[in-house]
Chains A and B, each alone.
Chain A
Amino acid sequence: MNAIALADPIADTAMGDTLLYLEDVTVSFDGFKALNALSLAIGKGEMRTVIGPNGAGKTTMMDVITGKTRPDTGRVQFGDRIDLTRLDEAAVANLGIGRKFQKPTVFENLTVFENLELALKTSRGTFATLMARLDGTALRKIDEMLALIGLGGHKARSAGALSHGQKQWLEIGMLLLAEPQLLLLDEPVAGMTDIETEQTAKLFKELAGSHTLVVVEHDMQFVRELGVRVTVLHEGSVLAEGSLDHVQKNQRVVDVYLGR
């Protein structure tokens, strides 16, 4: 498999400094191995798409990276020396790792503006939050983000009243306002219209380079549109890696996933 990957054009360009490194990560729930000796390296500024059938371990992988689930064995390293397996969700988020959930998760009873306000990169301490006031810079950042995610006219609406696609965009906007280094996006275009999907692909391409993105997606059209290196997960480990065309030709990938 390695030999094939080397022959692939995208494989050569991907690796610079490694930002996120998973090594031999295993997670089991009641004997079922959700992740089975998973190893994965994501370069700084890289955009990576992760595909795989249901139950392949995509969401569990995100849980492990973001501190929600502790792996039984293995190492998860962020940057040069930070071990993510020792940290909880809040600490991981404060390192600059943002996560978008599969189901859009925004604060439904808060307004769009308030959702973004909470996401804005500021001190997260309890007393700092109690005393926090929005200054001009913060307001400008929120307004810019509202424009970018196309919700400028909705800022006083409660987030629960938005359409599914708008909620997806609001959640992406919230992630970006936290100024993360690494973005983990679980099915970001689910429920979006074709035009919204296209706009999202455009936004992600702009973000790559200055940010590192890991996109889990089922929508092959969207994966093709992004046109970056693809990792195929199956039964908790990497089945294949390379460009979409390359992995689509892989017989095992066809058997377990694409062929069905």
Chain B
Amino acid sequence: MTRHSLLTPRGWLVFLAAGFVLIVLLPAANRLAAPGGWLYLPDYLVPLIGKYCCYAMLALAMDLIWGYAGILSLGQGAFFALGGYCMGMYLMRQIGDRGVYKNPVLPDFMVFLNWKELPWYWQGFDMFWFAALMVVLVPAALAFVLGWLAFRSRVTGVYLSIITQAMTFALMLAFFRNNMGFGGNNGLTDFKDLLGLQVQSPTTRVGLLIASAVGLGLSFLLCRWIVGSKLGRVCRALRDAESRVRFLGYSPTGAKLFVFVVAAMISGIAGALYVPQVGIINPGEFSPANSIEIAIWVAVGGRGTLVGAILGAFIVNAAKTWLTGAAPEVWLFFLGALFIVVTLLLPRGVLGVMRDWQTRRAASRATAVAAKPVEAT
């Protein structure tokens, strides 16, 4: 009880196996296997799986705040998009004079708008370390300010959901404006290279998949560590009886703010890993529907389990990839139906169903064992 281990031995085994598949097997299947062979992983699947890993990070962040601390943020996509824009700004600066207008400093859209010099907030983004820092700090700062104001004023439940939803909507409208200096409607695209490597090359894509898988693994361990700590138990206590937590002398503001900021950081990193793999970031990423979708992934997988969030992100997004290809007009109906079915029939998500099934099997095995001696006599 005193020493808390992050995962059970079996958990570590699954964790390492999943890591091995994502970091070693899949890249090897793409790079080493003969194209066309049954072991071969086609090039188009590499960024797709990398993208799923980024979504899974986002789902983890959502589960940390919603599943454990009861904060239903419907603006989590905003932190993802901000991290994405920070990475996009770095990638834009890397284009240099290879743009259409051949301007060595200004990105094409600024030249098009007749801007003469780089706005102050674009300074420094030509350096990777600076951009990487901003990927974490910008979402964290926004989460800190918003969270501090909301939690201190005891805004909870549906009101908090509405505020966060309004935040992401406001950001979307702001980023749509051309004179914000983020490329307006078109966003940032036409990326050339990242850390001197060609963004489009298959090798870089594999590298990005590995980076996303590592990011997912580290985020998972960080979240596990937080929810396994005493602070994690304070968060679960907050979800049950916030006033009791106050009367025990804990400040709910501090605990909530901590997980909210950590979740924003994870979301930002996920966005930064996502952008080079899809090759574009535009204000559509701030759309309120995106943030609601994140909550659906977590609900489908199973709230308050972390593993469920990862599962949910992979399952729903794989279904989305398949359905938007096979029958695009059905997708939104499917998503709506999924939410209703999960809420009504699977309140503990896919993972809950799997666990129930496991316990039932274990129980029936136990009765079978208990019944045996009777047969023998």
Contacts and interface: CB of A to CB of B under 8 A. Distances in A.
Interface residues of B, number: 28
Interface in A114-135: 114, 117-119, 124-126, 129-135
Given A118-B233, A125-B254, A105 B243 contact: yes
A107 interface: yes
A117 B233 CA distance: 9
A130 B241 contact: no
A106 interface: yes
Contact of B248 (A110, A139, A178): A178
Interface in A124-167: 124-126, 129-135, 139
B254 A133 contact: no
Contacts of B229: 129-132
B190 interface: no
A129 B255 contact: yes
Contacts of B3: 133
B243 A113 contact: no
Contact of A101 (B240, B244, B245, B255): B244
A8 interface: no
B249 to A, nearest CB: 4
A170 B333 CA distance: 47
B237 A107 contact: yes
Nearest to B257: A126
A125 B255 CA distance: 9
Contacts of A109: 236, 239-240
A124 B249 contact: yes
A126 B243 contact: no
Contacts of A105: 241, 243-244
- A105, A125, A178, most chain B CB atoms within 10 A: A105
A119 to B, nearest CB: 6
B1 interface: yes
Interface stretch (A17-25, A88-96, A212-220): A88-96
Contacts of B254: 125-126
B38 interface: no
A133 B231 contact: no
A131 B241 CA distance: 23
B130 interface: no
A107 B235 CA distance: 11
A99 interface: yes
A139 B1 contact: yes
- B230, B239, B248, B250, most chain A CB atoms within 10 A: B248
B5 interface: no
Contacts of A56: none
A174 interface: yes
* A-B pairs, 7 with minimum CB distance: A93-B249, A126-B254, A89-B246, A132-B230, A130-B231, A107-B237, A94-B249
7 contacts: A90-B246, A98-B247, A105-B241, A105-B244, A114-B233, A130-B229, A139-B1
Given A101-B244, A106-B241, A139-B2, 15 more contacts: A66-B247, A90-B251, A91-B249, A93-B247, A107-B240, A108-B240, A110-B236, A110-B240, A118-B245, A119-B248, A124-B249, A126-B254, A129-B229, A129-B255, A132-B231
